[in-house]
Amino acid sequence: MEKWADSSETARPRRPQLDEIEAARTRLAAYMHRTPLVQLDLRLPDRRIFLKLETLSPIGAFKLRPALNALLSRDIKTLCSGVATASSGNMAYGMAWAAHRLGVPMAAYMYSGAPRAKIDGVRRLGGDVRFISTETWWRYIVEAERPELDELLINPVTDQAVLSGNGIIGLEIVEDLPEIDVVVTPFGGGSLTTGVASAVKALRPQAMIVAAEDESAAPVTAALAAGNIVEIETKPSFVKSIGGPSLVPQLWPVVSELIDGAVAVSLDQITDAMRLLFSKAKVVAEGAGAASLAVALASDQIKGNVVCVISGGNIDAATYSQVLAGTIPDP
């Protein structure tokens, strides 16, 4: 396998430190505002639910922070040939937005089953969408293979600047709600959970970090039960941004030390949460984004002040209309 385009790509990821996360926030300040933390008034006896609305970022998802930080923290000379990433959707969208603002060519390696809203978003911003199979996409994510290209390829999961960019979310959560008891994050590759948990645990060590998964593909739950990474069978699901056949081995040692558990919820529970977000808060969330709320409502172990990271709202209109109509969309 070829070496990455710069030496930082070959380093094993580590837990980002607070000063790195603060530096990332300063770097991004000119490009985006903090996202709000709002209470979802459900009047539950044992928990208060708060929503960290990453749906209100300029691209409608949390991935703008890691994408921007990944580009802004590089020497501009390394970006001259352009940038690329492998993504199921939101990271590609975030990278396209960041590259467009910086005047840098951008390419996204996506599988054809990615939500149309995300594919179209990349193209609107001038990104070159290159379709690959889901198997090839996964090999790019876990760094088992890489495309032959001149662009700087930024791994959406293991890149250190990606992790620090995601840490900004954790900083904002603790600043807005210092007495936080539990933070629930959707778990895809693990970069969101790692970044958020790094900041939260540094500032509020007693807070629990819980990974939210879809029962159709729940590798964290399986790994915690087995005590190591395992390969699992996955089922097709309309929830595209979380879950996978396994975990990213480079990141798992880091994230496994930060999380306090994982909960896998059903598609019924996820779509219920999507409808609840719309009816109670007028928030449009994709399946992965609503998974954190589904977990917060389903688990008896989650109590007190609970923050659910609503990671994104980029869902195709036809799919969302099926959810609002009370059905589970086809994969």
Exactly one of 88, 164, 198, 311 is catalytic; name it.
88
Mind listing the pLDDT tens digit for each residue in 259-309? Answer: 999 999 999 999 999 999 999 999 999 999 999 999 999 999 999 999 999
pTM as predicted? 0.94
**Rounded CA separation 296/294 (Å):** 6
Angle at 199 between CA 108 and CA 258, to 5 degrees: 85
Residue with tokens 């994982």: 262
| Coil vs helix vs strand at 114 | coil
Tokens of 77: 């000379």
The confidence score (pLDDT) of residue 115 equals 85
**Candidates 52, 63, 118, 201; catalytic one:** 63
Residues of the chain with pLDDT under 70: 1-11
**What is the C-alpha to C-alpha distance for residues 294 and 264, in angstroms, rounded to an integer?**
9
User: In the annotation, is 88 catalytic?
Assistant: yes
Cα 184 to chain centroid distance, Å, stands at 12
List, for residues 236-262, the tens digit of each pLDDT value.
Answer: 999 988 988 899 999 999 999 999 999
Q: Is 292 a catalytic residue?
A: no
**Cα separation, 240 vs 214, whole angstroms:** 10
Token couple for 3:
């070496």
